[in-house]
Amino acid sequence: MKIVFLCEGNICRSPTAEAVFLSLLASSPLPKEEFVVSSRALIRETTGQGIHGKAAAVLKKHNIPLPEHKAKQLTRQEYDSADLILYMDQYNGVLLKRLFFLPKLPAKAHLLLEYAKEKRDILDPYPDGDFEKAYEDIEAGCKGLIKDFVDRLNLGICF
């Protein structure tokens, strides 16, 4: 199962989601070797930047291992090969469609909070500095995603 977490710049929300998901996956009954997890940007302007210092501080506060991270823009190959694309807000969906000239979002693309049974955005903490709220929403989405995979495993559905 190849999962890509997306946000606009790949310096706050998507690397946080990648780190949180990998931490939850490590303590789950899921077959870790079946998952390839990454995070990417929808713009190229932040390419090469590390995770935002405040996002890193929130991960550290919650005892989530910090990933070695340099922002990268999603490539067409990564888009094509992904089984699941998880984006943070509606605008990310717009940017994804624009990036690859898509008439609509593919069935494999979802708002991360859909897995927490919520139909709302994970707000970008970069402008207002609320990295803790972004973390809480990301954690809820990732926990719901793990639960979804565990439920599938218990039903005997292969990845």
Does any domain span residue 134?
A: yes
Which residues are tagged catalytic?
Answer: 7, 13, 124
Instruction: Check residue 154 and give its pLDDT.
Output: 84
What is the value of pTM for the model shown? 0.96
Does residue 31 lie within any of the structural domains? yes
Q: Is residue 97 part of a domain?
A: yes
Report if residue 141 sits inside a domain: yes
Q: Quick check: is 159 in a domain?
A: no
| Residue position matching structure tokens 């292969």 | 158
Helix pair angle (53-61, 131-154), 10° resolution: 60
Please report, for the domain that includes residue 67, its CATH number.
3.40.50.2300
Residue ranges making up the domain that contains 138: 2-154
Which DSSP string do the residues of the chain spell out, in sequence order?
-EEEEEESSSSSHHHHHHHHHHHHHHTSSS-GGG-EEEEEESSSTTTT----HHHHHHHHHTTPPPPP----BPPHHHHHH-SEEEESSHHHHHHHHHHTT-SS--TTEEEGGGGGT--S----HHHH--HHHHHHHHHHHHHHHHHHHHHHHHTT---
Residue 71 located in a structural domain: yes
Please check whether residue 38 lies inside any domain of the structure: yes
Distance CA 111, CA 81 (A): 19
Instruction: Give the pLDDT confidence score for residue 118 in this predicted structure.
Output: 95
Distance from C-alpha of 143 to C-alpha of 159, rounded to nearest angstrom: 18
pLDDT at residue number 131: 98
When divided into structural domains, the chain yields a total of 1
In the block, tokens 């049974």 appear at 117
pLDDT in tens, the chain (159 residues): 999 999 999 999 999 999 999 999 999 999 999 999 999 999 999 999 999 999 999 999 999 998 789 999 999 999 999 999 999 999 999 999 999 999 999 999 999 999 999 999 999 998 888 999 999 999 999 999 999 999 998 877 766
> Which residues fall within 8 angstroms of residue 39, CB to CB, at 6 or more apart?
4, 5, 6, 7, 10, 14, 15, 17, 18, 69
pLDDT of amino acid 128: 84
Q: Which residues pair with 38 in a beta bridge?
A: 4
* Separation between Cα atoms, residue 13 and residue 123, nearest integer Å: 9
